[in-house]
Homo-oligomer: A and B are copies of this chain.
Amino acid sequence: MTTVRVLIQSKAGVLDPEGEAVKGGIERLGHEGVERVGVGKVVDIDFETDDTDEIESRVEQICDEFLVNPIIERYSYEILDNQ
């Protein structure tokens, strides 16, 4: 089994109201010196196969066709373990 970790985050310049809300909450807790907060999604996908090439091709298809909105989001991924 192989786990892939996909991170989906707002593109630079795109409004991130959840990040702004978290930043406000942190400041209300009394923490100064926080410049920016960005909130996105982490999606862990467990594949049965251990074929790295196949997994990379599938992850890119899944992100491009379904999981990520390329107008406002960017994604990156890493293969966590291969066992």
Binding site for B on A (CB under 8 A): 1, 7-9, 19, 22, 25-26, 29, 31, 33-49, 58, 61-62, 65-67
Whether A46 pairs with B36 at a CB distance below 8 angstroms is yes
Name A54's closest neighbour in chain B (CB-CB). Answer: B33
A65 to B29, CA, bound (A): 8
A40 to B37, CA, bound (A): 16
Residues of B within 8 A of A65 (CB): 29
Copies in the complex: 2
A44 to B7, CA, bound (A): 11
Whether A43 pairs with B39 at a CB distance below 8 angstroms is yes
Whether B58 pairs with A22 at a CB distance below 8 angstroms is no
Q: A19-B43, A26-B66, A40-B41 are in contact. List 13 more A-B contacts (CB 8 A).
A: A22-B67, A29-B61, A29-B65, A31-B61, A34-B45, A34-B47, A36-B45, A37-B43, A37-B46, A39-B43, A40-B42, A41-B41, A41-B42
